[in-house]
Amino acid sequence: MGPRRLELTLDHCVSYPASNSTKLCVSGVNKTFRRDGKSVHVLEDIDLTVREGEFVCILGPSGCGKSTLLNIVGGFTTATSGRVEIDGEPVRGPDPRRIFVFQERGVFPWLTVEGNISFGLFKLPKHERERRVSHYVHMVGLKGFEQSYPHELSGGMKQRLEVARALAVNPDMLFLDEPFGALDSITRLLMRGELLRIWQAERKTILFVTHDIDESVQLADRVVVMSARPATIRTIIDIDIPHPRELSSRRYLELRDGLLDEIGLAHKV
């Protein structure tokens, strides 16, 4: 309990020195929105470390600040105080090495499927562009729709398109903000399976915001549980079930119930 301890709690990124595998380090991040003289304290002292190749879900009640945190890490918003480092360097803005996937609204409606996927590939030679487009069209199952416009696709297809557009630039991190929130439950399950398949094939570091407890237990290596506003990290739960996960296994149900308790919900509706 001396001054040394104090120092440790002050800087998370220093107190857990970046090992080779640390991808992201968030330390003491606070965010307060000020507008019309009113201020909303959204994030309070957020400390979080994410390893390279890890799949981390951020779970929390609506309006607690999950999107805000993701936007700060993605470089679209600046924190009021605190540090965010990726690969040991402070985040200064959006970067093509880490792509933010919005809900399907993020696809460009004026471009075809092909045009969307190659949007970020403008620095590459033509043949490489074409190779990547056809690779990812195939990977997300949009073969035959290369020349279609987004308004000709279903919601799930648009979502896959956006994931393909993100993967095509070969980022090492993906930020997904409730990407499947607008989809029906069947498509949502299929999309989770596809995302896991892609993650296992390409080993990106993934930060995935959701308020769906089942979704987090199905996908994540670790689930970060946030409290209501001002959001702090209540706890971080390791999901120690190998993929593919059996959704009726004892461990799965245990972890899910643990999360329900953590969020303070009863097990009955």
Partner 1 sequence: MRNSSKLLPLGVFAALTLAWHAAVVSSEQRLLPTPWEVVLGIAELAQRGLLIKYVVASLFRVTWGFAVAALLAIPFGLFLGWYRRGEAAVNPFLQILRPISPLAWIPISILWFGVGDGAAIYLIFLASFLPLAVTAMNAGRNVLDVHLNAGRNFGLSQTQLILRVLYPSVLPQLIVGLRITLGIAWLVVVAAEMIAVNSGLGFLIVDARNAGNRYDLVVAGMLMIGLIGLLLDAGMRSLANLKILRWGRAASS
Give the interface with ligand ATP as residue ranges (CB under 6 A): 33, 35, 40, 42, 60, 62-68, 211, 229
Taking CB under 5 A as the criterion, the residue among 30, 67, 77, 170 binding Mg ion is 67
Q: Write down the least CB distance from residue 108 to partner 1, Å.
A: 6
Q: Write down the least CB distance from residue 41 to ligand ATP, Å.
A: 9
Taking CB under 8 A as the criterion, the residue among 26, 57, 99, 195 binding partner 1 is 99
| Binding at 41: pick from ligand ATP, Mg ion, partner 1, none (beta carbon under 5-8 Å per type) | none
Closest by CA position to 67, among listed 211, 196, 241: 211
Per CB under 8 A, 94 contacts partner 1: yes
Return the exposure string of 213-237: e unless at least 16 CB atoms fall within 10 Å of the residue's CB, then b.
bebbbbbbbbbbbbbebbbbbbeeb
CA gap 124, 1 in Å, rounded? 55
String of DSSP letters for 170-211: --SEEEEESTTTTS-HHHHHHHHHHHHHHHHHH--EEEEEES
Closest by CA position to 121, among listed 167, 172, 75, 79: 167
Per CB under 8 A, 102 contacts partner 1: yes
Strands 22-35 and 38-51: antiparallel
Taking CB under 8 A as the criterion, the residue among 108, 214, 230, 263 binding partner 1 is 108
| Binding at 42: pick from partner 1, Mg ion, ligand ATP, none (beta carbon under 5-8 Å per type) | ligand ATP
* Closer CB to partner 1, 16 or 149, in the complex: 149
Taking CB under 8 A as the criterion, the residue among 8, 78, 105, 184 binding partner 1 is 105
Per CB under 5 A, 148 contacts Mg ion: no
